[in-house]
Amino acid sequence: MNAISSPPAGLMIFNTTVNSIFWFNGTTWDMGINRDGNSCGSVSYGGQVYTSVIIGTQCWMKENLNVGTAVTGTANQENNGVIEKYCYENKDAKCAIYGGLYQWDEMMQYVTFQGTQGICPSGWHIPSDEEWTKLSNYLGGESEAGGKVKEEGTVHWYPPNVATNSSGFTGLPGGYRNSSGSFLNLEYAGFYWSSSQSSTLNAWYRDLYYNNTVMTRNNWDKVVGFSVRCLKN
């Protein structure tokens, strides 16, 4: 679709990547049929099957990434050719539910350009800050988007968990690993990296909390361990 040279306004095509009709509005491609909540396929990766959900014109993984070899929270993940992850409280069972936690450099596989594949499977990438903003804006802005992306109920989230999950994103409260190696905020909050730096030491991320509907944009030290969601290319 993006390879079509100088498409005329009104051109309509069927996009086989996301199995939906698109039309060219004179500037960008728009999805002609709202397929929110539908899948754009699944992928088997690292011994786990990841499902997907279409939100606007984006296709997101519905599960937190859980790939790699677990290392203790007190150690830094290293550029050694092996994908490494933290499991909350160093328990594999937590990774099985909430996914792994990753330092920014490890997630990016030691490059710094936005939208890189990083630790995502082939055909997927680490979402940029701009792509997270696109998701947030589509769901009504920061003040509303959190409630629409969080998993409903209190099986994993601490009460009251103000959430509808109307987008189908199914965000989970995986907490985080701090710079000293401690684990915090499981069931209370989820923190998701972007592939965009805010400085040489910090990067942009989004956070979700149990007691509101906000999806906040913040930046923090790259050495902390956050959750990762992949976005389809």
- DSSP secondary structure, 54-117, as one string: EETTEEEESS----SEE--TTSPP--SSS-EEB-GGG-HHHHHHH--BB-HHHHHTS---TT--
| 115 and 186 fall within a common domain | yes
- Model confidence pLDDT, tens digit, residues 159-201: 999 999 999 999 999 999 999 999 999 999 999 999 999 999 9
Cα(41)–Cα(119) distance, rounded to whole angstroms? 19
* Within-domain flag for 199: yes
Residue 89 has pLDDT above 60, yes or no: yes
- Are 149 and 86 contained in the same domain? yes
Helix or strand holding residue 205 (H, E):
strand 202-209
Question: Residue 212 pLDDT more than 90?
Answer: yes
Tell me, what's the pLDDT at 33? 55
Question: Residue 148 falls within a domain, yes or no?
Answer: yes
Q: How many domains does the chain have?
A: 2
**Is residue 117 included in any domain, yes or no?**
yes
The answer on pLDDT for 1 being more than 90 is no
- Return d(Cα 231, Cα 127) in angstroms, integer: 6
| pLDDT score, position 76 | 97
Angle between helices 142-149 and 129-138 (to 10 degrees): 90
For residues 220 and 125, state if they share a domain.
Answer: yes
Please report where in the chains the tokens 């792994």 appear, as a residue: 100
Average pLDDT over residues 115-132: 97
- List CB contacts of 112: < 8 A, sequence separation 6 or more: 197
Q: Tell whether pTM > 0.75.
A: yes
The two structure tokens encoding residue 55: 């939100």
> What pLDDT is stored for residue 31 in this prediction?
63
Which residue intervals of the chain are DSSP H helices? 92-98, 104-108, 129-138, 142-149
Query: Does the residue 44 lie in any domain?
Result: no
Assigned domain for 46 exists: no
Range of the domain at 151: 63-232
Q: Identify the pLDDT of residue 19.
A: 64
Q: Are residues 20 and 131 in the same domain?
A: no
Residue 37, pLDDT score: 83
Claim to verify: residue 119 and residue 18 sit in the same structural domain: no
Distance CA 172, CA 188 (A): 9
Residue 47 lies in a domain: no
